[in-house]
Structure 1
Amino acid sequence: MERWSGVLRIPLHSNSTTFHRVGASLCLSSGTRNLSMPIANAIFFCGDRVERTGNPVIEKLSDLQKLSEIVVSKFGSSINAWVIEASIFNGPFAVYKDFIPSVNQYGEPGSYNPIGFPASTSTVSLLSNCLEEVRTVSSPSYRL
Structure 2
Amino acid sequence: MDRWTGILKVPLYNTYYRVAASLCLSPSSKSLSVPVANAIFFNGDKIDGTGNPVIERLSDLQQIAEILVSKFGNSINAWVIEAPVFNGPFAVYKDFIPSVKEYGEPKSYDADSFPASSSIVLLLWNCLKEVLSIVRSTCLVR
Question: Taking structure 1 as the reference length, what is the TM-score of the superposition?
Answer: 0.88
1:28 aligns with 2:38: no
1:105 alignment counterpart: 102
Q: Structure 2 matches for 1:2-21, cutoff 5 A?
A: 2-13=2-13, 16=14, 18-21=15-18
- Structure 1 unaligned blocks of 5 or more: none
CA RMSD of aligned residues (A): 1.8
Deviation, 1:31, is: 4.1
Partner residue of 2:65 out of 65, 68, 73: 68
Quote the Cα distance in structure 1 between the aligned partners of 2:28 and 2:56.
38
Quote the Cα distance in structure 2 between the aligned partners of 1:136 and 1:110.
38
How big is each residue's C-alpha offset from its partner over 1:3-36, in whole Å with a ceiling of 9 and x where there is no partner?
01111111114xx2x111101100011446xx95
Number of residue pairs matched? 137
1:114 alignment counterpart: 111
> Amino acid of the residue matched to residue 70 of structure 2?
S
Structure with a larger share of its residues in helix: 2
> Amino acid of the residue matched to residue 58 of structure 1?
I
Partner residue of 1:38 out of 35, 40, 50: 35
Question: Taking structure 2 as the reference length, what is the TM-score of the superposition?
Answer: 0.90
Larger CA deviation: 58-67 vs 35-44: 35-44
What SS does the aligned partner of 2:26 have? strand
What SS does the aligned partner of 1:138 have? helix
How big is each residue's C-alpha offset from its partner over 1:29-71, in whole Å with a ceiling of 9 and x where there is no partner?
1446xx9521000100111111111111111111101100101
> Amino acid of the residue matched to residue 6 of structure 1?
G
Quote the Cα distance in structure 2 between the aligned partners of 1:101 and 1:37.
32
- Structure 2 unaligned blocks of 5 or more: none
1:77 aligns with 2:81: no
